[in-house]
Amino acid sequence: MRKRFLLFSLAFLLLSMVFIGCSTQNEPETDSSGNQDQTSYNANPSGTDSEKIDDSTDSENDSTDSDGDNSTESSGDNSTPSGEQTDSDSDVPIVYFTSDISPEGLMAVYEALGWTPTGNVAVKLSTGEPPASNYLDPQLIKDVVEAVDGTIVECNTAYGGSRSETAMHYQVAEDHGFTEIADFQILDENGSLTLPVEGGSVLTENYVGAAFADYDSYLVLSHFKGHAMAGYGGAIKNISIGLGSSEGKAWIHSGGTGGSMWSGDQDAFLEAMAEAGKSVSDYLGNGERIVYISVMNCLSVDCDCDGNPAEPDMHDIGILASTDPVALDQACIDLVYAQKDGDGASLVQRIESRNGLHTLEHAEEIGLGSRTYTLVNIDE
């Protein structure tokens, strides 16, 4: 009897250690009063487990402040020393999260940003390639689009399909329900506008739709998912390739060489995305007039530019929002990597097989944003 009890106790202890190791990567701990611990994470999206770092010196410091802070701090930079932390009043960008994938949930994370658009407002999204891509449901985004009094904007593609020509693209927008909820404009129907790229290594200029400058503020709605060439698609892709004119898309894909879109240097392509995104952010008041929301559902390994994407292996996760596109993409990546040994394995494989994390590395290097962020769960 004593031996069975000892064996049972040992098994229980091992199971508890496994559970804690899995759950603490995504969820802040709570004490007996329901308060959450303030913890930091050295997120390591290279395939190894993230390390949880306790920033307290005693049990009292483990609890949250009286304001109920429900944040966790994370760094997607693998070079960040373990245990390095930033004061709570620092400039670390905040990423807001909700598991509620609904119009109410999306509105809640938008309002959490505390951002007020000015002037003429554009809402950038992907209209989705027919016949069966995983574009954002117009009914999901309708309330927030109306709240900002926005015009939905897109650019033509640089490949064949139903969105490479303006007239066809307007028809797709109508067929997919976007023209029912807001005005809609193809930004490059009259050509391109050149934006300077500051501090780039592969680009000196970026080509966006000619009507890009007609809008004063941008709300960027992205569907986070995999991508056949970039590894993943999120906020950075949406403001680089997404806002690129047909000419600009080809320019980015070629890594700024003007050569083939499909056989150029992979890292140059990824760096071009980051640099094109920075030119957009710089133009919009160094990021003051642009914010980002990413929806993590229908998590296929394929992009919305694929009309017949692979069925998702991964469960839906939630909606995230930030004023920093690098922090936002990193947070989404971290949530995927938290399931790298589970249903996120295929998406992780897609990201790594394309060296997709290099986009984040270069984006941070050139100053587009930060891979270190504070995650705030607004559900709690």
Quick one: pLDDT at residue 46?
36
What is the β-pairing status of strands 372-377 and 71-75? antiparallel
DSSP 8-state class, residue 209: E
Region 179-187: mean pLDDT is 98
Quick one: pLDDT at residue 76?
53
Q: What is the CATH number of the domain that holds 332?
A: 3.40.50
The model's pTM is 0.81
333 inside domain: yes
Indicate the pLDDT class of residue 160, thresholds 50, 70 and 90: confident
CB-CB contact of 252 with 271 (8 Å): no
Q: What is the pLDDT of residues 53-87, one digit of tens each?
A: 233 323 333 333 434 456 666 665 433 222 222 44
Region 254-265: mean pLDDT is 93
Please classify residue 61 by burial: count the beta carbons closer than 10 Å to its beta carbon, then call 0-12 exposed, 13-18 middle and 19+ buried.
exposed
CA 80 to mean position of chain CA atoms: 21
Question: Token match 């304001």: residue?
Answer: 67
365 inside domain: yes
d(CA 375, CA 327): 9
Cis bond upstream, residue 131 (ω within 30): yes
Strand partners, 357: none
Quick one: pLDDT at residue 106?
98
Residues of the chain with pLDDT > 90: what percent?
74
- Dump strand ranges (E) for the chain: 39-42, 51-54, 71-75, 94-98, 121-124, 151-154, 184-186, 192-196, 205-209, 217-223, 225-227, 231-233, 290-296, 318-322, 372-377
Contacts of 333 (CB under 8 A, 6+ apart): 45, 76, 232, 351, 357, 360
Q: What is the pLDDT of residues 340-378, one digit of tens each?
A: 999 999 999 999 999 999 999 999 999 999 999 999 999
Quick one: pLDDT at residue 288?
96
Give the three-state DSSP class for 237. Answer: helix
Residues of the chain with pLDDT > 70: what percent?
76
DSSP 8-state class, residue 59: G
Paired tokens of 301: 């390994």
Low-confidence winner among 73-77, 224-228, 230-234 (lowest mean pLDDT):
73-77
Summary mean pLDDT of the chain: 83
Spell out a b/e string for 273-301, using b for 16 or more CB atoms within 10 Å of the CB, else e. Answer: bbbbbbbbbbbbeebebbbbbbbbbbbbb
Indicate if the alpha-carbon torsion angle 158, 258, 228, 282 is positive or negative. negative
Please classify residue 194 by burial: count the beta carbons closer than 10 Å to its beta carbon, then call 0-12 exposed, 13-18 middle and 19+ buried.
middle
Indicate the pLDDT class of residue 91, thresholds 50, 70 and 90: confident
Angle at 362 (CA atoms; ends 359, 364), nearest 5 degrees: 105
Q: SS3 breakdown of the chain: % helix, strand, coil, rounded to 5?
A: 30, 20, 50
d(CA 120, CA 210): 15
Q: What is the pLDDT of residues 287-331, one digit of tens each?
A: 999 999 999 999 999 999 999 999 999 999 999 999 999 999 999
By C-alpha distance, which of 288, 283, 284, 290 is closest to 198?
Answer: 283
Quick one: pLDDT at residue 69?
55
113 inside domain: yes
20 inside domain: no
pLDDT above 90: residue 32: no
| Parent domain of 199 | 95-377
47 inside domain: no
Indicate the pLDDT class of residue 212, thresholds 50, 70 and 90: very high
Region 15-21: mean pLDDT is 34
* Ramachandran class of 215: left when φ > 0, alpha when ψ lies in -120 to 50, beta otherwise: beta
For 199, other C-beta atoms within 10 Å of its C-beta total: 12
Paired tokens of 20: 């804690």
For 84, other C-beta atoms within 10 Å of its C-beta total: 12
**Number of domains making up the chain:** 1
d(CA 267, CA 257): 13
350 inside domain: yes
Quick one: pLDDT at residue 13?
36
By C-alpha distance, which of 70, 73, 23, 74 is closest to 45?
Answer: 74
In order of 137, 167, 186, 295, the CA distances from 141 in angstroms are 7, 24, 19, 10
